[in-house]
Structure 1
Amino acid sequence: MLLIKNAQVFAPQALGNVDLLIAGGKIVAMEKQLNVSGFKLDEYDAAGQWLVPGFVDSLVHITGGGGEGGFATRTPELNAVDAIKAGVTTMVGVLGTDATCRSLGELFGKTQALNAIGLHCYMHSGSYQLPVQTLTGDLRKDIMLIEPVIGVGEIAIADHRGSQPSWRELARVASDARVAGMLSGKSGVVSVHVGEDESALDVLHEVVANTALPISQFYPTHMGRSDSLIAKGAAFARLGGYLDFTTSTTDDILAMGERRASESVQIALEKGVPLSQMTFSSDAQGSLPHFNAAGQLDGLEVGGIGSLWEEVARLIEAKVLSVSDALKLITENPARILGLAQGKISLNGGADFAIIDSERLAVSGLVSRGKWLMRDSKILAKSMFDR
């Protein structure tokens, strides 16, 4: 049993100074000045630090990504310690451009390894390309029969690295994912990688215009690539769609016209997009490539999972959003869209939360599944290979 005292709790709604009692991986009591006797427990004095839901990262290349410049440019897989330091308790693993040398089987294995360490890790079937590659040979079976599989993607549109899907092809995949999600109690979400081409979200609009599929079935990401794409995304959101902004970027990419996630959400809010329809994801371990005018790779960096909180902290520090609203971008909102139970602090809910040093706006602790993975900035979680 774990008793957290003197924490400023954001659920993500601001609850003030509240004590939490954790047992069996759940929050079993939430009260002001909670006193517990007769039990052996671990008591932790948060000393006024923030206690917030563990962050939910909807797009992580947990087995690595990249490769657009040849085999030497393949990016490394995610180190669980990096996720823990970043305050992330829940993530979704995806394949990217390369679904030949990186496989869904490898993705599944890494998903389960991260779960074994104490995090919550899910995955999508498929990759950039259509026809969809699957584990079982059938997308519906992947989602319905394989527990950590919750959707499909990230399917690439408006990008020269994608398979240039027609609206009919994309509609068939979305239909299979939707029905499988309904039958299994999962989201069946279609994660969509949006590239730099001017066609942007056109194929998604075609699907919605020509079928009975709801616009909310699609979850487009990288929506801060340009002011033009943000504007098109705002129109998409006004029809009921979701927007995801990528927090990993580089100075070179920003110089090309991309907006930081923290700037993108401000622009979208000014264009009338409800905060509830927006999220951040890190695209961690994905490549951050730069292509020249001829479409040739001339630069490559690696996305970092720590960028997720960094962009939220920018919003808080600049007082663009309240702490509660800024946190929704990486907790409540993505969890709801993905159909996950995480992303909030609630009585009898899962004990997955981060401790934030409010003065430095830095993650100092992490509890997942009711157990400390990092305490007072010291990593406690260990894999079989850590000494």
Structure 2
Amino acid sequence: MSILLIKDGDVYAPEHQGEKDILVINEKIFFIDQNILTSALNAMDKNIKIIDASKCMVIPGHIDQHVHINGAGGEGGPQYRTPPIQLSEFVKAGITSVVGLLGTDGFARSLKALLMKARALEQEGISTWIYTGAYEYPSPTITESILSDLILIDKVIGLKIALSDHRASHPTVDEFIKVTSEARAGGILAGKAGVVHIHMGGEKQGLNCLFDIIRNTEIPIEQFAPTHLNKKDEELFRQVVEFGKIGGYIDLTAGVSGEEKSSHSIKPGKAIKELMKNGISIEKITISSDGNGSLPKFNEKKEFVGMSIASVSSLHQEFINMVKEEKFSIKEAIHVTSTNIAKHLKLDKKGEIRVGKDADIIALDKDTLKIKHVIARGKVLMEDEEVVKFGTFEKE
């Protein structure tokens, strides 16, 4: 039995709980109260670990639902394929749960390799899941179908596909209904979310395919998780607002300043403000990093002109920006980086600091919001700003 006591932190669960101690036994939050006695715990187990969080706010660990954990890219040729990500990058970013996925390349990139990378990261310390599929239609799978991937493979919780993008397969509405129906049925039979996580490009049709399905079938709008929706396009923003007003989840991509002339996106914090002004509940908005993915640059003729790599650290930077620059509350920032994601993806043990939940916790400096401590499933991965748990092949 392992015992961890987080002392005197200002707890946001995401609701503000005030100064509390959090007792963790093995992987779970066992008790939350003021002044839990360390003497009594020491009598139980001399090896109790104590984290001093007296100058920290304590929040649920970030959940990133869009990370290319085993690499991505290749739009400019083989030399532009990004490498697999290491555990310490997640630890430094305060990410305790992640969903891995494929990108443009669903041929040379393997879902089986993605699954094994997810299993490796989980054994190293964080919680992981994956989406089956990639950009193209028909969707690549691990078994013979989307349905069987969801039912038979524990880590598969949904489907990835691309729409409105010049690199996509441009499925018809009927084809998209077919894959969505498979994902929904697989989710129902497996007790999973079965979401369809949709890379949204910048083509003019935007979200029209989703609206067609919502109007003409009984598939619920929550089945969809469109991402990259913080684009500088008035028509797409109008569609995003409409999508949110009828109950859809809106996922924004971190790591864009929105200020460069070449940028096609706006910062998530500013996008959230505009969405809320238009009547969208913050509980329907999420942020993901697109971490470790390639960021190809194309000119007006859609010719490849350059490449960079997205960082998972952008998720916590957006958390800081929301609080410091855009003046959102801590509770609101937690909702979009953790709680809402857990709810949409049916990750029932994640996204909150409550008794019985997984002990996925990060402690932040109260003034700077810099990450001080990271705990994932009850294990300390960062202490006093120092990473203490590295991946198997990382140098400590």
Q: TM-score, normalised by structure 2?
A: 0.95
1:150/1:189 contact within 8 Å kept: yes
Q: Match of 1:356, as an amino acid?
A: L
Name 1:158's counterpart in structure 2: 164
After superposition, give the CA deviation of every residue in 1:234-287 in whole Å (9 maximum; x if it has no partner): 111111111000002367866434101111111111111110110000000111
The alpha carbon displacement at 1:232 in A equals 1.5
The alpha carbon displacement at 1:320 in A equals 2.6
Q: 1:78 aligns with which of 62, 68, 85?
A: 85
Structure 1 spans left out of the alignment, 5+ residues: none
2:255/2:318 contact within 8 Å kept: no
After superposition, give the CA deviation of every residue in 1:109-167 in whole Å (9 maximum; x if it has no partner): 110010011100100000011101100111111011101100000x1111010000111
1:7/1:47 contact within 8 Å kept: yes
2:351 is the alignment partner of 1:349 = no
Q: 1:136 aligns with which of 115, 134, 143?
A: 143
Q: 1:218 aligns with which of 190, 211, 224?
A: 224
Higher mean displacement: 53-62 or 311-320: 311-320
User: What is the CA–CA distance in structure 2 between the aligned matches of 1:375 and 1:381, rounded to whole Å?
Assistant: 10
Q: Match of 1:16, as an amino acid?
A: G
Shift in alpha-carbon separation, 1:294–1:251, aligned structure 2, 3 A: same
Q: 2:111 aligns with which of 104, 112, 134?
A: 104
The alpha carbon displacement at 1:382 in A equals 2.8
Higher mean displacement: 38-47 or 277-286: 38-47
1:221/1:244 contact within 8 Å kept: yes
Q: How many residues align?
A: 386
Q: 2:387 aligns with which of 373, 379, 383?
A: 379
Name 2:125's counterpart in structure 1: 118
Name 1:7's counterpart in structure 2: 9
Alignment of structure 1 residues 190-339 onto 2, 5 Å: 190-228=196-234, 229-249=236-256, 255-318=262-325, 320-339=327-346
Name 1:57's counterpart in structure 2: 64
User: What is the CA–CA distance in structure 1 between the aligned matches of 2:305 and 2:231, rounded to whole Å?
Assistant: 18
Secondary structure of the corresponding residue to residue 3 of structure 1? strand
Shift in alpha-carbon separation, 1:304–1:254, aligned structure 2, 3 A: farther
Output the aligned Cα RMSD: 1.4
1:7/1:17 contact within 8 Å kept: yes
Secondary structure of the corresponding residue to residue 18 of structure 1? strand
User: What is the CA–CA distance in structure 2 between the aligned matches of 1:372 and 1:47, rounded to whole Å?
Assistant: 17
Structure 2 spans left out of the alignment, 5+ residues: none
The alpha carbon displacement at 1:223 in A equals 0.2
User: What is the CA–CA distance in structure 2 between the aligned matches of 1:385 and 1:298, rounded to whole Å?
Assistant: 33
Q: TM-score, normalised by structure 1?
A: 0.97
Residue identity over aligned pairs, in percent, reads 34
Name 2:31's counterpart in structure 1: 29
Q: 1:188 aligns with which of 161, 185, 194?
A: 194
Secondary structure of the corresponding residue to residue 116 of structure 1? helix
User: What is the CA–CA distance in structure 1 between the aligned matches of 2:316 and 2:310, rounded to whole Å?
Assistant: 13
Higher mean displacement: 244-253 or 221-230: 244-253
